[in-house]
Amino acid sequence: MIDLTHWEDIAARHIQSRGERVPGRLSGKAVIVTGSAQGFGRGIAEELYREGAQILIADLNEPLAREAAEALGGRAVACRVDVSDEESVAGMVKTCVERFHGLDLLISNAGVLKAGGLEEMELKDFEFVTRVNYTAFFLCARYASRIMKAQHEADPAWTGDIIQINSKSGLEGSNRNFAYAGGKFGGIGLVQSFAMELAPYGIKVNAVCPGNFYDGPLWSDPEKGLFVQYLQAGKVPGARSVEDVRQFYLGKSLIKRGCLPRDVAVAVMYAVEQTYETGQAIPVTGGQVMLK
């Protein structure tokens, strides 16, 4: 384990005094959002910033992360992170403590997706998806909880949150998309297990399971987006174009639109503010997937 003792001490010493207080539901809270230079992550970061949070925009694409942080304002800082690399994740947590003197909320959002059936999926691709979507959540929780435990020890009234941005594919299987769904199912297992372990330290652990964000690059990228991948993989019977695939998925939600970052941010704030809930997977799917 990489040593964070110095940074734990800083977080513990400043627990009562840190944080720029501005109006908002998350006023003064130090927040890391991984994968937040674009897409869902950036939208979530923008919403939480508007609620008074201090935001570390953590992303593999450092120039884009800097752009996102500058667009937010003075309470946002950019940081390059490879969430699949242990040293990089530890460095991300160090940066948060260095800049904000602590950590109150970690949002593990960074993720990748590669669709394909059993005959198409290669081992290297399966392992890559699993490393980013599953193993990285373990690394983020491991190092974030080190800081959070120190803060709770310094002030037993302090509480913190770890939230994984999971997926509706973590609640039900996904045809020809097993690498992604499998990692997300596993993520909910980690959420429940981490919740049990970290509750004594005032740390809640939950997952938010969004429906499809059709306007983001994950779905709409003209070369690598899911609409293109699903068309090529034959996932939608009879689909002859990207638009056919899009209309098929728009029709799945009871509320006939895609999920938006604001929808997810509201669920995140619920998870933070609800002090009597941990170990849960909160669906935000427009009724497409319902809890059983």
Mind listing the pLDDT tens digit for each residue in 11-52?
Answer: 999 887 776 678 899 999 999 999 999 988 999 999 999 999
Report the pLDDT averaged over residues 110-123: 91
pLDDT at 60 over 90: yes
Dist. CA 286–CA 191, nearest whole Å: 22
pLDDT, position 215: 84
pLDDT, position 282: 97
- CB-count exposure of residue 81 (10 Å: 0-12, 13-18, 19+): buried
pLDDT, position 20: 65
Asked if 180 is an active-site residue, the reply is yes
Q: pTM of the full predicted structure?
A: 0.93
Report the pLDDT averaged over residues 213-233: 85
Report in angstroms the alpha-carbon separations of 155 from 151, 158, 191, 197, 208.
Answer: 6, 6, 24, 19, 28
Q: Which two tokens stand for residue 119?
A: 């005959």
Report in angstroms the alpha-carbon separations of 43 from 17, 49, 69, 194.
Answer: 29, 10, 12, 26
CB contact at 8 A, 278 and 204: yes
Q: Which two tokens stand for residue 152?
A: 């709770």
Dist. CA 80–CA 88, nearest whole Å: 8
Instruction: Please provide the size of the chain in residues.
Output: 292
CA dihedral for 207, 211, 215, 220, sign (positive or negative): positive
Q: Which of 49, 134, 143, 180 is an active site residue?
A: 180
CB contact at 8 A, 26 and 272: yes
pLDDT at 221 over 90: no
Dist. CA 20–CA 226, nearest whole Å: 40
Report the pLDDT averaged over residues 100-104: 97
Report the pLDDT averaged over residues 193-211: 98
Which range among 80-84, 104-108, 109-113, 277-281 shows the weakest confidence by mean pLDDT?
109-113
* Per-residue confidence band for 113, with pLDDT thresholds at 50, 70 and 90: confident
Query: In degrees rounded to 5, what are phi and psi of residue 207?
Result: -120, 145
CB contact at 8 A, 30 and 120: no
What domains does the chain contain, in order, with CATH numbers?
A: 5-211+260-284 (3.40.50.720), 214-258 (no CATH)
- Higher-confidence position of 80 and 226: 80
Report in angstroms the alpha-carbon separations of 46 from 42, 52, 73, 211, 262.
Answer: 6, 10, 10, 19, 9
Q: Which residues contact 54 (CB under 8 A, 6 or more apart)?
A: 19, 20, 28, 29, 30, 31, 75, 76, 77, 99, 100
Question: What Rg do the C-alpha atoms of the chain give, in angstroms?
Answer: 19
Strands of the 160-165 sheet, one edge to the other: 76-80, 54-59, 30-34, 105-108, 160-165, 203-210, 281-284
- In whole numbers, what is the pLDDT of the chain averaged over residues? 94
Residue 57's DSSP bridge partners are 33, 78
Q: Crossing angle, helix 178-198 and helix 123-130, to 10 degrees?
A: 30
